[in-house]
Every structure is written in structure tokens, then in C-alpha cells.
Amino acid sequence: MPESLLTPLRNWFQQYRPMERDHEQLDKWSDCWNYLKDFGTHSSGKVLQKRLFDFFMAREGDLITSAIYAATEEMMPPLLEKQEQIQSLLSAAVQNLQSAMEQSSCHRDQVAGVIAQIKKANDLTTLEDLKNVMLQIGDRYLQELDDNQNKINQTMGDYRLKMDSLTKELDILTEKASKDPLNGVFSRSLLEYDLESHIGAAKGRKQGLGMVALNLIGLRQINNQFGADAQQRVVSDFIAILQDNLRRNDIIYSYDEAIYVILLPRCTESTGEQLTSRVQMFLNSHAYKFGSQSLKLNVNSYFNLYDMQESAKEFLARTLLLMD
């Protein structure tokens, strides 16, 4: 992906970096940022989209929770003050009645009953106030939740549209970057990346991995004699012959102007040698036509089977060394 697209995207995302104390949000942000910062040819737009989506969903959820806490803290002081006032009045009434009851034995039972009712009223008032305030908080929370949900839906809807567009653009750019623009086969950079994966798969399945290097002798002379269009037609015919004679899971890479590499997954030595001989026979017998003239190219082929002890770079270098 070109820096002209990555730089604005990185700058935009940096503004959403959470505070250090928000550990969970910061982890999700860092996960996105590291992927975006190192975004390259072989990165996935869909992976980036999912990581960004997870971060913004977590962020919106924390904003709602913070709003609820703020509303609760705002309403609790008036509640506590009201409770203290009521309890103070009721306590004073109880004390007065107890003093009157001690001074006179008349109506002692009735006074005791009134005191009990006042104490009960004290408890009920506290609970009723608390219930009313909590209902107010709940109503306010539900309203804020509805408002925030609408905002989230709108924001995430816009975000999905932007990320879908970005993902498509990333996929197109990734595909362009991974293929040779002239012949449509996979590029050298992708070969070096894919080779690691194919070696890992070969080791896991305990199956062979073959590599064929092909050198088109005289391709530059065709360019000099007949022009670039003629050279491109030769390369197109060359690729078509390869595709007709290779297995479905074999992969062609353009390594250099006249050098092509083929990976042969699940390959034995005998299978690889037979396949290489057949391909070379068809390539060397094919006549390339230029107007009234026809010309055959000499194609040299070199086959190697992967040694389980070597690295990807060593395997590639060992195969290409055969051409020297």
C-alpha cells in the first residue's frame, strides 16, 4: 500500500490513543497501531479492519460506562444530604417522644407505638429515596444508552463503509504488488515470502518440496531485434506453455527478466525431474512467430528438491546457483 494512503490513516488513528491507565483499551489500540505501522505488501486489509473494529467497539463501551458513573456520582450527594435531613428530623422526634414518655406514664403504650412507627418511617424513607434516585439514574442511563447506541450505529456504519472501501483498495494494491505487471505471474518478492510458508507446510506434512529455475536464453535479443511488444508476446506464450504442462498446485514466479522459478509442493525427486524434462521439451520445441519469421528459444531448466535442514534462502540460492 502506498505511503500516500498509509500516512493519513496512521495520523488519523494516532489521535485515538487511550490514556496509560486504560490498559484494555491501550492493548487493543497498540495491536491495531503495530499492524498499521508495519503494514506492507503481505498484510491483510481484512485483518486491519477487524482490529480497528474491535478497538472502536471497546472504546464506545467504555464511554457509556464512564457516562453512567458520572451520572451516579452527580446524583448521590443530593440524595445523601436529603437522607441526613430526614433522619435528623425523625431522630429528634424520637428523642422528644422518649423524653415525654419517661416524664409521664400516661399513654405510654401509645407513645411507644408512635416511636416504632417513626423509626419504621425513617427506614422506609431512606429506602424509598434510594429507590427513587436509582430509578432516575436508570431512566437517565437508558436514555443515554439509546442516544449513544444511535451514535454508535451511525459511527460504525460510516466506519464500515470507509473500511470496506479501504479493504478493497488494499486488496487491489496487494494483488498488484504481488504480481509482475508485465506477465501477471507472481513476483520475486512474493516468492521469498511464500517460500517460508511452503517449507513449513512441507515439514509439517513430511512431504517433498521441489523448485525449478528456468532461464530464457536470447530474450533480450528478441527485444533488441523485434521490440518490447514482441518480447512480451514471447513471455505470454512461455507462461501459457508452463501453465498447460504444470500441475494445478504448482506456482510460477517471475524472478528476473529472463529467469522464472516454479515451486512444486508435494513433490518427489522423480516427479520433479519428469515434470522439468517435459516442460523443457515443450518450451524448446515451441516456435515463436514474428510476422513472417519464426524463432525458437533455448530454455535451460534446473530442478532441486528441498533439504529439510536448509533455510528458505539457502534452498533458493542453491537452485539459482545451478544456472552459473
Q: How confident is the model over 285-320, as pLDDT tens digits? A: 888 887 778 888 888 999 999 999 999 999 999 999
- Sequence-distant (≥ 6) Cβ neighbours of residue 274 within 8 angstroms: none
Q: What is the model's pLDDT at position 1?
A: 47
Q: Who has greater pLDDT, 85 or 193?
A: 193
* Mean pLDDT across 116-141: 59
Q: What is the CATH number of domain 188-321?
A: 3.30.70.270
State mean pLDDT over 19-46: 73
Tens of pLDDT, residues 264-287: 999 999 999 999 999 999 998 888
Is-contact 169 5, C-beta < 8 A? Answer: yes
And the C-alpha cell for 212? 525449478
- The whole-number pLDDT of residue 26 equals 80
- Which of 128-167 are b and which e, b meaning 16 or more Cβ less than 10 Å from the residue's Cβ? ebeeebeeebeebeeeeeeebeeebeeeeeebeeebeebb
User: pTM to 2 decimals?
Assistant: 0.50
| Contact status, residue 230 vs residue 290, Cβ threshold 8 Å | yes
Q: Is 167 or 261 the better-scoring residue by pLDDT?
A: 261
Average pLDDT over residues 157-184: 65
Share of the chain above pLDDT 90, in %: 17
Residue 70's SS3 state is helix
Mean pLDDT of the chain: 75
pLDDT score of 100:
58
**Could you tell me which residue, 73 or 144, shows the higher pLDDT?**
144
Residue ranges matching CATH 3.30.70.270 in the chain: 188-321
3: confidence class by pLDDT, cuts 50, 70, 90: low
Give residue for cell 539459482: 320
Mean pLDDT to the nearest integer, 159-169: 68
pLDDT digits 0-9 by tens, 89-127: 556 655 655 665 565 555 555 555 555 655 655 555 555
Distant-in-sequence, close-in-space partners of 309: CB < 8 Å, separation ≥ 6 = none
CA distance linking residue 56 with residue 278, whole number of Å: 56
